[in-house]
Amino acid sequence: MKTIKLDKNPLKLVKDVLNDLKASPDLGIYKCVQCGMCASICPGASQTEYDPRDMIRRVLENDETIIDDETIWDCFSCYTCNSICPSGNNASEVNQILRQMSIEKGEGAQKIKDFCAYGDSFMEMGIGSIPNEFFNVMVKDVGNKYMDLKVNIEDIRTDLGLGNYILPKESTDEIEAILDNSGFKVRLEKIKRCKK
Amino acid sequence: MSKAQLNKNKSNLKIGVFLCRCGGNISDIIDMEKLRLSVKAEVIEEFENLCSINGRKIIRDNIIKKNLDRVVVAACSPITHEKTFQNYVSPLNPYLLEMANIREQCSWVNPDNITATEKAISIVNAAIEKVKYSQPLVPILRKTPNTAAVIGGGISGISASLSLARQGIETYLIEKEPTIGGSMVKVGKLFSPEKLAEECAMCLLNPLVNEAVQNKNINIITNTTLKSAERRAGNFNLLIENKARKVITDRCISCGNCAEVCPVEVKDSWNEGMTIRKAIYKPFSQAVPDVYTIDPENCKKCGKCQDVCRMDAIDLTMEDEIIPMTVGSVVIATGHKTFDMNKRPEYSYGRHKDILTQMELARVMGVNGPTKGELLKPSDGKVPQRVVMIQCVGSRDEKPGGRKYCSKVCCMVAIKHANVIKQHYPDTDVIIGYTDMRTPGMYEKYFKYAQSNEVRLIRGRPGEIEEKDGIFIVRLEDTLSKEPLEIETDLVVLSTAMEPSEGTVDVSNILDVGLTEELFVKEKHSKIKPVATEVEGIYVCGTAQGPKDITDSIVQANAASAKVSELINGGVELEPFVANIDNSKCNLCKKCIDVCKYKAAFIQDNMLSVDPVACVGCGACLWECENNAIEIIGQTDEQILSMITGMLKDKKPDETRIIAFLDSVGYVSADNIGINKINVPSSIRIIKIPSMNRIMPKHLLHAFNMGADGIIMGEYPYNPMYSKTKEKVNGLKQELIKNNINPDRLAFYKVYIPYFRGLANKFNKFNNQIIELGKIGSKIDS
């Protein structure tokens, strides 16, 4: 049986979410009436076990197990829940804050390990690019057009009158210094070290 | 006696001071002998209990024998016995009496004889100084003419008119449509929690409409809107515009030949646009007045109707008419409209014929509707296999264009229609998708009744409706089983929000009546004045004031008519302490009109006037008036300044004195401190002022010049002018700085009647703070 214990801080989780840097000042978690309108149109909810309404309920009920719940990784960040919510809440945003909490705890890091290559790309070239690890997936999803694009990128850019996208070394050095000093690099390494 | 004469003689006025021992309540603490010797007056008398019949004799005998001009009674709080002593000073005018509160605000809060006596002396002195400037006054008697205008001819307006008329009040019932009846004529069936049945709306409404037609006190004016309004003390001058009906009411026998030949076809709003009518039409068969009307927007003036009319009732040259009228009161009953579905495209309304609103479903199921009461889908005329109703469409919705409130009736409306469907079409499945079923009170029985009729309820708010191969898919989450759900259906009904009608907004603007954030008519006080508006003499009822059902609308309509009747029959006797205008100084700048949240000031015949019923004498307008054309009777500058003088004139050099200006709430709170025998610093001297808005820099500067070491201002925060007061305190502090007075010597507090302990604490704290600051004029001030 579930017990609502005499807890000094029964709203800890919702307060942590609301106090998160990423939380919008008008994030309306408290106003949720559990109507399920978000879940009714959520593509994640229709295909997986993810339920944005239930996620909000668990946050409001201080159920910290939601942070480690696998289902929160099934959100597509399409923000339809936010656009439709009649109570001014934003399940997508709450989801992202919970994921960040999970990453901080360590559990969530493995979920984003594959994306570290994006970070590497920023460190090396100063711009984001689709990592090589995803090349095969992209070819499968987009088709041969993707391969053509990759191979002929220089010519295509020239045809379009676009300049060189490779940044000069002093720029990439500067960007790397910023990413280093801001703690991005350490964070990236930490995520890379986590075990799958 | 004019004010000038009074002031000229003020030094020669014969003042009688009567001191009450209050059976020891006052005399056990206060040294009565010293008090008597310290006060200067023509007569000084002391008695055991002045409020007794013997006290009355002492006061009256002295007034007559010694020819007294003014009386001061030093006794309990004026709240306890002012009315008593006002009677006792007869034959003197009751307003020539001033009370000095030396019990609640002196002997009961100061246990020390010496300081209590000193305080009593200053309280009596303040009363003596003030009474010198008092004028003989008479209470204001409001006379309201025995006429009323009711704007809006729905169930609320009809009910209000009937109640007014039955009380003998001449009533104009003004309706913008060609017929009265409003929304109630369209809904077909009414929900009824007691009988667990759906009743015929028309059968209940018709007798009321007939009575309204027959009642000699009711003038039904249809096809008419309010154009302008002007308020004059106790009267409203209205201009109404009567749109030309182009049919002579007295001649038309409602045969309908005209409509048969009319070539113009337009959507019929009576059937929510689901059927067509002609440009000459009668909205429905029981319409009142029972005549045809030409819709000028669509009429092509072909004259065919004139050709067939045997009564010669049609006059295409008839023109709109502006009619002036004067009434004593106005009742706003302008009703509501339903939510504009264009704002919620996710429900595909308007794109598919078989997605209806509840009002459209009401027409479909109405026996006088497009299908003669049969539940048939508009698309193919077949009975639906399933009906899915979606609740809270546009209600409880914080998205742009949405309504944040609950529309209050939609749960019952959905249940009503679901019940009717299940009774006549048991094979049609009915599902209501809801967020919360709100069926308060007896309606819970009605809800249970629907469940027993096999109406199904799924908890979840649908996010979208999709059409697939001729059927609708309603997507929602079954929030109880935590499952996203797709419901297939062939008819969808949307329970749309109730919104204020355009008429509600227009009429309120014309009448200068305040609206809520949602644009419903705002009541004067949502708890204790639920049908009064901000403007005296204008009342509101029905859905113009907020979403509600027919029962509540009728209750409110009757309440509004009772309020109108109170004004007419009771007359209202009011204290005359209101703003008085010196029109020779007024330049009609209208700043006072803008600042007054009580809407008491208005311009009449190029002269500024004040409605004494609306004015509370707060004094906010005095600040705005550059020409000093306004004074508050009973709180003139002379009176306020003289009270301050009286409170401070005998201050000793080593003494600390603090003037506390309190509004009427603060004053009662201060009395409560006394009643509960809580000690208050002896420095505190309380002066009652109707509102802190009255306090101006000159009053504060006078007090500091006379030796006050600190000043407190206390105001109840839930009065309409409070925000103005707060602004002003900052301005006052700036004035103090300009005059080299430390602004910390002025404190502003919120006061409440039950929080007297808090007020006593504040007195103590401020007293300590002032002692720390030192005496007025010390170094810290310059």
Chain B CB contacts of A86 under 8 Å are 392, 396-399, 402, 461
Q: Which of B397, B475, B482 sits opposite A86 (nearest CB)?
A: B397
pLDDT of residue A20: 96
Closest-CA residue of A relative to B464 is A41
Q: What is the DSSP string of B711-744?
A: EEEEE-TTSTTHHHHHHHHHHHHHHHHHTT--GG
Q: What is the three-class DSSP state of B168?
A: coil
Closest CA in chain B for residue A54: B482
Give pLDDT tens digits for A165-183. 889 999 999 999 999 999 9
CB B551 within 8 A of CB B156: no
Does the structure show a pLDDT above 60 at B779? no
Please name the fold of domain B573-632: Alpha-Beta Plaits (3.30.70)
CATH 3.50.50.60 fits B341-499, yes or no: yes
Inter-chain residue contact B460 with A40, CB threshold 8 Å:
yes
CB contact under 8 A, A45 and B477: yes
**pLDDT tens readout for residues B129-188:** 999 999 999 988 878 899 999 999 999 999 999 999 999 999 999 999 999 999 999 999
Sort out which chain B residues have CB atoms less than 8 A from A31's CB and list them. 398
Nearest CA distance, A153 vs chain B (angstrom): 41
A41/B463 Cβ within 8 A: yes
- Asked if pLDDT for residue B781 goes beyond 70, the answer is no
- Per-residue pLDDT tens digits for A20-39: 999 999 999 999 999 999 99
Tens of pLDDT, residue by residue over B372-406, are 999 999 999 999 999 999 999 999 999 999 999 99
With the C-alpha atoms ordered B296, B301, B304, B307, is the resulting torsion angle positive or negative?
Answer: positive
- Contact A41/B464, CB-based, under 8 Å? yes
Domain ranges, ordered by start, for chain A: 12-107, 111-193
Chains A, B: CB contacts within 8 A come to 70
- pLDDT class for B5, splitting at 50, 70, 90? very low
Task: Return d(Cα B447, Cα B451) in angstroms, integer.
Answer: 6
Q: Which residues of A touch B459 (CB under 8 A)?
A: 36
Tens-place pLDDT, residues B637-689: 999 999 999 999 999 988 999 999 999 999 999 999 999 999 999 999 999 99
| A36–B477 C-beta distance less than 8 A | yes
Query: Picking from A135-139, B100-104, B293-297, which range would have the lowest pLDDT averaged per residue?
Result: A135-139
Give the torsion sign (CA, A164, A169, A174, A178): positive
Strands B43-47 and B15-20: parallel
CB atoms within 10 A of CB A111: 17
- Average pLDDT in the B612-627 region? 90
In this structure, the strands spanning B97-101 and B147-151 are unpaired
Residue A81: closest CA among chain B residues belongs to which residue? B463
Task: Specify the range with the lowest mean pLDDT, choosing from A78-87, B596-605, B735-744.
Answer: B596-605
- Whether the per-residue pLDDT at B10 is higher than 90: the answer is no
Q: Rounded CA gap, A92 and A78, in Å?
A: 8
A90–chain B nearest CA distance, Å: 12
Question: For B244-319, CATH number?
Answer: 3.30.70.20
Please tell me which of the candidates B436, B461, B482 has its beta carbon nearest to residue A37: B461
First-to-final CA distance of chain B: 46
- CATH number for the domain whose boundaries are A12-107: 1.10.1060.10
What average pLDDT does this structure show over B51-69? 95
Name the phi and psi angles at B219, rounded to 5.
-105, 110
Q: Do B461 and A36 touch (CB under 8 A)?
A: yes
Tell me, what's the pLDDT at A124?
87
Fold classification of B634-782 (topology level):
Rossmann fold (3.40.50)
Residue A186 distance to chain B (closest CA, Å): 40
DSSP B247: B
Smallest CA–CA distance, residue A102 to chain B, in Å, is: 24
Task: Say yes or no for a CB contact (<8 Å) between B462 and A46.
Answer: no
For residue A35, the chain B residues in CB contact (below 8 A) are 392, 435, 460-461, 479
Identify which of B392, B459, B463 has the shortest CB distance to residue A84.
B463
Cα B634 to chain centroid distance, Å, stands at 26
**3-state SS record for B601-621:** EEEECCEEEECCCCCCCCCHH
- Identify the bridge partners of residue B189 per DSSP, sorted by sequence position: B200
What residue of B is the nearest CA neighbor of A55?
B482
Kindly tell me the sign of the dihedral angle through the C-alpha atoms of B510, B512, B517, B522: negative
Q: What are B82's strand-pairing partners?
A: none
Give the SS3 label for residue A156.
Answer: helix
| Chain mean pLDDT for chain B | 93
Query: Which residues in chain A touch residue B462, judged by CB atoms under 8 angstroms apart?
Result: 37, 40
Closest Cα in chain A, distance from residue B191 (Å): 26
What local confidence, expressed as pLDDT, does residue B6 receive? 46
- pLDDT at residue B1 tops 60: no
Q: How far apart are the first and last CA of chain A?
A: 33
Q: What is the pLDDT of residue B536?
A: 85
Shortest CA gap B476–chain A (Å): 4
Task: Indicate if the alpha-carbon torsion angle A27, A32, A34, A35 is positive or negative.
Answer: negative
Taking only the tens place, the pLDDT of each residue in B302-344 is 999 999 999 999 999 999 999 999 999 999 999 999 999 999 9
The C-alpha of B438 sits at a distance from chain A's nearest C-alpha, in angstroms, of 14
Q: Looking at the partner chain, which of B396, B475, B484 has a beta carbon nearest the beta carbon of A86?
A: B396
For B550-562, what is the mean pLDDT?
Answer: 97
A interface test, pick of B457, B477, B483, B494 with most A CB neighbours within 10 Å: B477
| Same fold flag, B1-137 and B573-632 | no
Which helix (DSSP H) or strand (DSSP E) does residue B261 occupy? helix B257-261
- Determine the residue of chain B that is closest to A80 in CA distance: B463
Q: Which chain A residues have a beta carbon less than 8 Å from that of B397?
A: 86
Residue spans of the domains in chain B: they are: 1-137, 144-243+320-335+508-570, 244-319, 341-499, 573-632, 634-782
B780 — pLDDT class (breaks 50, 70, 90): low
Contacts of B495 in chain A (CB under 8 A): none
Closest CA to B88 of B66, B58, B117: B58
CA distance to partner chain A, nearest, from residue B496 (Å)? 14
| Nearest-neighbour CA in chain A from B390: distance (Å) | 12
Kindly determine whether residue A36 and residue B479, on different chains, have CB atoms separated by under 8 Å: yes
% of chain B with per-residue pLDDT over 70: 97
Tell me: pLDDT of B82 over 80: yes
Helix axis angle, A12-19 to A91-105, nearest 10°: 100
Which tokens is B84 given?
């008593």
At residue B233, the pLDDT reads 62
d(CA B617, CA B742): 30
B228 phi and psi angles, rounded to 5 deg = -155, 160
Percent of chain A residues past pLDDT 70, beyond the cut: 99
Find the range with the poorest average confidence among A5-14, B243-252, B666-675: A5-14
Give the residue numbers in A contacting B (CB under 8 Å), as ranges: 28, 31, 33-42, 45-46, 51, 53-54, 84-88
Please list every residue in chain A whose beta carbon sits closer than 8 Å to the beta carbon of residue B463.
37-38, 40-41, 84
Q: How far apart (Å, rounded) are the C-alpha atoms in residues B16 and B14?
A: 7
Average pLDDT over residues B506-519: 94
CA count, 13 A, side-chain hemisphere, B433: 32
- pLDDT score of B573: 79
- Looking at domain B144-243+320-335+508-570, its CATH superfamily turns out to be FAD/NAD(P)-binding domain (3.50.50.60)
Nearest residue on chain A to B433, judged by CA atoms?
Answer: A35
* Inter-chain residue contact A35 with B460, CB threshold 8 Å: yes
Residue B19 pLDDT more than 70? yes
Q: Do B398 and A42 touch (CB under 8 A)?
A: no
Write down the architecture of domain B1-137 according to CATH. Answer: 3-Layer(aba) Sandwich (3.40)
Q: What is the DSSP string of B25-91?
A: TTTTTS-HHHHHHH---SEEEEES-TTSHHHHHHHHHHHHHTT-SEEEEEES-HHHHHHHHHHHTTT
State how far residue B461 is from chain A, nearest Cα, in angstroms.
Answer: 5
Q: Do A40 and B475 touch (CB under 8 A)?
A: yes
Give the pLDDT band (50/70/90) at residue B782: low
* pLDDT for residue A3 is more than 90: no
